[in-house]
């Protein structure tokens, strides 16, 4: 923890003004000026004492969200606790210190610091800072600084606390066109399949003895009458359609073929491919598909076809964690088991490599994202980038504020 007093510009101006007033008071021997000088000196002392006292009684915790998403604001909360028994704390600013490495949060998002107006004695208040992720990856946070200029704005007192933490920023998601999913999955021709397990489906699976808790509707009455004991009918579980997304990252970035668009870099193509894969996963999950993921060329694991919330998070985390700067691994043979029941979608950054994904696989390239996507979910980080908000943005913001 590092505590510091800063004499910033207004403070410096104030000190100069105090010196001038002191000089005027001495030069004129004017008692009113002597008193004003006294007030100004006291304000200087009180400012330092009060802000120091406030800062020393503060404790802070960073409450990091589970993950962020490119195109959506990442709200990081800070729990500020005032340990003082009597003195409240006012006007506290919280800001994250920049991290000097490639995965530092400052390399992948803009931020607006948090501000807390008041924390009462023995009270805890949550402030929130908004981050605007521009790209996916693992964002590392290290130190954060809390500062205040209360009460007079003369002296700035700050405390820097080291709290290393990280958060995964998921890739940008796009709203895909209707029918994309049906087009890339084999369900349309083969129809829905059932699993070999009992469940709550409609198809007949078998019979068994009645167990307490079975519904009356499950009882096979005729058979029960014949056997003179209650027998229940068991039904099959409907097997949801399955899809495996394969992101082809076998070729290094510099080996990719760039298109005619000069602004489009090879890295952009790879990121678009990852975004398209993430969007497909998201869409499939929403539509009740079981989804699996393969990331040939990377160290990322091949994830089995499943469906639940944690599984989806796992898939997204795997996509978020892809390190495109790492050396690519050679392609390994892909399993074609259940190929007829699991649809395969292979996403290529630049061009299709038909050998990947098996005979029935659908191949899409990152460039097709424009055609497949209706619009990005949230804001388009690729388009807005890291630019500072334009004047139009400000005006819009003001309008929004007025409307609010």
**Whose CA is closest to 153, among 4, 3, 2, 14?**
14
Q: Pick from 62, 83, 328, 341: which binds other proteins (CB under 8 A)?
A: 83
Residue 76 pairs with which residues in a beta bridge? Answer: 129
**CB within 8 Å of 120: residues ≥ 6 apart:** 82, 88
Q: In the stretch 127-146, what mask flags binding to other proteins with x, by CB under 8 A?
A: xx-x-x--------------
In the complex with other proteins, the residue whose CB is nearer, 119 or 249, is 119
106 binding other proteins? (CB under 8 A):
no
Core vs surface per residue 282-317: b (16+ CB within 10 A) or e: bbbbeeebbbbbbbbbbebeebebeeeeebbebbbb
Among residues 48, 64, 106, 151, which is the contact residue for other proteins, using CB under 8 A? 151
CB of 171 to other proteins, least distance (A): 17
Give how far Cα 192 sits from Cα of 138, 203, 284, 356, 397, Å.
38, 12, 15, 25, 49
CB of 87 to other proteins, least distance (A): 7
* Alpha-helical regions (H) of 297-337: 309-320
SS3 at position 192: coil
**Spatial separation of the C-alpha atoms in residues 312 and 221, rounded to whole Å:** 43
User: What residues between 225 and 244 interact with other proteins by CB under 8 A?
Assistant: none
Tokens linked to 62: 């960073």
CA distance 225 to 73: 64
Which residue has 């807390």 as its token pair?
A: 116
One residue of 48, 62, 67, 113 binding other proteins per CB under 8 A:
113
Of 5, 15, 87, 219, the one binding other proteins (CB under 8 A) is 87
Check residue 162 for interaction with other proteins (CB under 8 A): no
Least distance to other proteins from the beta carbon of 358, Å?
39
Neighbours of 225 (CB within 10 A): 11
Restricting to residues 283-312, name those near other proteins by CB under 8 A. Answer: none
The binding track of 6-35 with respect to other proteins, each residue x by CB under 8 A or -, is ---------------x-xxxxxxxxxxxxx
Size of the site for other proteins (CB under 8 A): 76
Binder to other proteins among 52, 81, 219, 238 (CB under 8 A)? 81
- Give whichever of 73 and 238 is closer to other proteins, judged by the CB atom: 73
Give the binding range for other proteins (CB under 8 A) out of 165-173, 266-274, 361-369, 386-394. 386-394
Nearest to 134 by CA among 70, 68, 66, 65: 70
According to CB under 8 A, which one of 3, 4, 8, 126 is a site residue for other proteins? 126
| Residue 34 vs 210, nearer CB to other proteins | 34
Per-residue contact track with other proteins, 31 to 70, x per CB under 8 A?
A: xxxxxxxxx-xxx-xx---x--------x-x---------
Binding other proteins (rule: CB under 8 A), the pick from 73, 199, 259, 358 is 73
Instruction: Give the range of 150-158, 195-203, 311-319, 366-374 binding other proteins by CB under 8 A.
Output: 150-158
Residue 118 binds to other proteins (criterion: CB under 8 A): yes
Choices 193-201, 330-338, 341-349, 385-393; region in contact with other proteins by CB under 8 A: 385-393
Between CA 344 and CA 358 the distance in angstroms is 8
Report the DSSP pairing between strands 2-6 and 193-209: unpaired
Q: Are strands 89-96 and 114-119 parallel, antiparallel or unpaired?
A: antiparallel
393 contributes a contact to other proteins by CB under 8 A: yes
């Amino acid at each position: 923890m590092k505590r510091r007093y800063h004499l910033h510009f207004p403070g410096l101006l104030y000190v100069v003004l105090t010196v001038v007033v002191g000089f005027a008071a001495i030069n004129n021997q004017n008692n009113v000026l002597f008193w004003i000088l006294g007030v100004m000196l006291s304000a200087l002392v009180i400012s330092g004492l009060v802000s120091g006292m406030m800062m020393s009684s503060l404790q802070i915790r960073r409450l990091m969200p589970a993950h962020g998403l490119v195109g959506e604001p990442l709200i990081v909360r800070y729990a500020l606790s005032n340990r003082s028994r009597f003195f409240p704390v006012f006007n506290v600013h919280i800001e994250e210190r920049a991290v000097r490495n490639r995965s530092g949060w400052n390399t992948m998002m803009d931020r607006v610091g948090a501000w807390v107006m008041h924390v009462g004695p023995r009270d805890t208040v949550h402030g929130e800072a908004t981050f605007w992720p521009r790209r996916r990856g693992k964002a590392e946070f290290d130190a954060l600084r809390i500062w205040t200029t209360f009460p007079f704005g003369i002296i700035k007192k700050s405390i820097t606390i080291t709290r290393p933490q990280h958060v995964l920023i998921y890739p940008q998601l796009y709203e895909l066109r209707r029918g994309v999913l049906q087009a890339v999955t084999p369900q349309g021709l083969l129809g829905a399949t059932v699993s070999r397990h009992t469940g709550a489906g409609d198809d007949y699976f078998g019979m068994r003895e009645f167990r307490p808790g079975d519904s009356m509707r499950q009882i096979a009455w005729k058979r029960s009458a014949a056997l003179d004991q209650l027998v229940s009918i068991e039904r099959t579980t409907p097997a949801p359609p399955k899809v495996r997304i394969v992101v082809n990252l076998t070729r290094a970035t510099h080996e990719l073929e760039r298109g005619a668009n000069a602004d489009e870099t090879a890295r952009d193509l790879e990121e678009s491919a990852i975004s398209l894969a993430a969007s497909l996963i998201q869409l499939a999950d929403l539509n009740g598909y079981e989804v699996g993921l393969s990331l040939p060329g990377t160290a990322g694991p091949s994830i089995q076809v499943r469906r639940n919330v944690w599984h989806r998070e796992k898939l997204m985390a795997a996509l978020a964690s892809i390190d495109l700067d790492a050396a690519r691994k050679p392609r390994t043979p892909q399993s074609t088991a259940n190929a007829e029941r699991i649809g395969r979608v292979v996403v290529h950054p630049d061009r299709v490599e038909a050998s990947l994904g098996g005979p029935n696989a659908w191949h899409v390239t990152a460039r097709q994202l424009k055609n497949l996507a209706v619009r990005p979910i949230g804001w388009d980080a690729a388009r807005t980038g890291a630019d500072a908000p334009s004047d139009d943005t400000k005006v819009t913001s003001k309008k929004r504020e007025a409307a609010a």
